[in-house]
Structure 1
């Protein structure tokens, strides 16, 4: 048994008993066995003790590839749970999660938020302890120092908890699909809530993540080359094939939509495309930008070797209205999933396909997905228009014929995309 084998979507490696062939003959072996059961922040702390522990910590971290999802608040549909807008409460929630549950170092975070919460953001409180270095204070009439409440958007509040290499893409929509760390999924249409998907670093032949933004009024040249398209969409290397692109648009009449035509030109039957029209987008690549630029679209390019990365996509069209129909359609993705792979999934739903669509029953579509894929993290949004198609490659790499760009745009539908990683 490999001491550092990836746990299949497990968020915490349980302290299992040692196997008969686990021979702990040295203090190094004992330390290594203990480190295997520590969350990532504890390992970081241990790495500072001595050179030997630094080496073990680096080895442990390099072999961990755990995908995490969480929701804030942790039970977003509970009638007794309210979503606090105090920065102190959010800080406590995220800090506790990272310290106790985070198993791999994230390099990318996809954040989805309901519009109301994204507009509110988080506020420091005069009654809470100082949390940030730049909190402003003024003298009140009595001469006492009083802190002014400051507003932080969701990305600002989250980023200070993450390692500096972790990029953050934030999407705000009328409703979201979010999952807890134990893979309980929710379709959140009216409550304030945030969903986060944390992806660690993977070997490039397994999974490459290339976030991108498209500035407003950017025109896509008709003669744009494949290399130029790759640079435009996240600076994907020329010798790497694009396998999937996830788009989030804020303008229907955006020039950014034209890049889909170029994708289909260079990848006519070899790329899965999924996306939706949302209300707000924000990408933070952790670089300092001196000028503020408006963006019409953002997204993620996914790459990886076809033998290691399997991608499938199904479309729930307007006529699919029952659980049985949903289940039958989702079953078409099962060929991509097995007990020896990691996976995560994206759900883009029309805002009209919520509980009203299913006679006031909540979580219909995400719960059917969860029955078939109990260990797969799921995240998504309810949009004002969807982008997707049926894309079902099998293990022989025979791919369903790609649809035209025009037919990728949908209404009153839901699109599920399953990304399966074979380590």
Structure 2
């Protein structure tokens, strides 16, 4: 994940805005050369970044709302766990999603599916937001964790052989499958406006009792939150997370709309199906979605 300023600067170096798609593709290819051939890369560009600096998972996570920033989160091969990237591009000529596409991505007919991280890109384009909702609706009624949001554009997907047009819109993400995965999400609504309320939301997340080893945290926040939302005080939500989860690294972004709800999935126990409220309650603005994903205990 990288913030928009990083890519804008690269484009300006080329002297023309339309260099974006070429620059993004070249950046993706350069990154992919650093990794083993079987490593799959998914890259997105967002207005801002949440990152835990390298060194220790207990380092203070930073909400970087202004300036160039980015991070790479690498998942090792883990026995019993499958992580699959997916990409559905909005195509006016073929508006329907084929069932086999969802099955191949691990999103349907997959009893071990536990978590889906999902991101809509270029959602300001006509029909793009509705397309995102249509994609998510195909798997939102399952007993899984859903979290993500709307980002500026797609920077990289290993499977792409040619650069996307600047106006291309679609949905990308990761499906995480495996009986050992445990996960939980909480939603910080627009009414959460001070440190005390933010900590109370993190207490709800802690009450899920997700193991804190082999666990990563995600934060998907609206660009309207951050230091402006908290009366010019910065890093409020990331600090509240660190207070209750001292050893879990936190990553994420400031985006243009959030996806998620209060939910726990641990083994056979599910607290609240998101569809108990209406499906559109998965989609929010001026909120933050916090997620924990536990990838199982080492054998």
Question: Smaller-chain TM-score range?
Answer: 0.7 to 0.9
Residue 358 and residue 371 in structure 1: after superposition, are their counterparts in 2 closer, same or farther (change >3 A)? same
Work out whether 1:203 is the aligned partner of 2:72: no
What per-residue deviation string (whole Å, max 9, x for no partner) do you get for residues 217-250 of structure 1?
A: 25235xx65x55322xx25684443222111112
**Cα distance, 1:123 vs structure 2:** 11
Work out whether 1:326 is the aligned partner of 2:215: no
Work out whether 1:263 is the aligned partner of 2:152: no
Work out whether 1:156 is the aligned partner of 2:29: yes
Work out whether 1:357 is the aligned partner of 2:225: no
**Cα distance, 1:303 vs structure 2:** 1.2
Residue 251 of structure 2 corresponds to: 379
Between the two structures, name the one with larger relative contact order (CA 8 Å, sep ≥ 6).
2
Residue 147 of structure 1 corresponds to: none
Residue 39 of structure 2 corresponds to: 166
CA distance in 1, matches of 2:39, 2:283: 31
Work out whether 1:414 is the aligned partner of 2:285: no
Classify the secondary structure of the residue corresponding to 1:264: coil
User: How is 1:108-123 mapped onto 2 (pairs within 5 angstroms)?
Assistant: 112-121=1-10
1:241 to 112, 133, 141: 112
CA distance in 2, matches of 1:211, 1:151: 22
Residue 336 and residue 123 in structure 1: after superposition, are their counterparts in 2 closer, same or farther (change >3 A)? farther
1:214 to 67, 88, 102: 88
**Cα distance, 1:351 vs structure 2:** 0.4
Residue 32 of structure 1 corresponds to: none
The answer as to whether partners of 1:312 and 1:336 remain within 8 angstroms in 2 is no
**Cα distance, 1:194 vs structure 2:** 1.0
How much is the aligned-residue C-alpha RMSD, in angstroms? 2.7
The answer as to whether partners of 2:184 and 2:210 remain within 8 angstroms in 1 is no
The answer as to whether partners of 1:276 and 1:384 remain within 8 angstroms in 2 is yes
**Cα distance, 1:257 vs structure 2:** 2.5
1:304 to 178, 185, 192: 178
Residue 67 of structure 1 corresponds to: none
What per-residue deviation string (whole Å, max 9, x for no partner) do you get for residues 109-154 of structure 1?
A: xxx1110102233999xxxxxxxxxxxxxxxxxxxxxxxxx96754
Q: Which runs of 5+ in 1 are unaligned?
A: 1-111, 125-149
Residue 122 and residue 331 in structure 1: after superposition, are their counterparts in 2 closer, same or farther (change >3 A)? same
Q: Which runs of 5+ in 2 are unaligned?
A: 14-21
CA distance in 1, matches of 2:163, 2:4: 25
**Cα distance, 1:394 vs structure 2:** 5.6
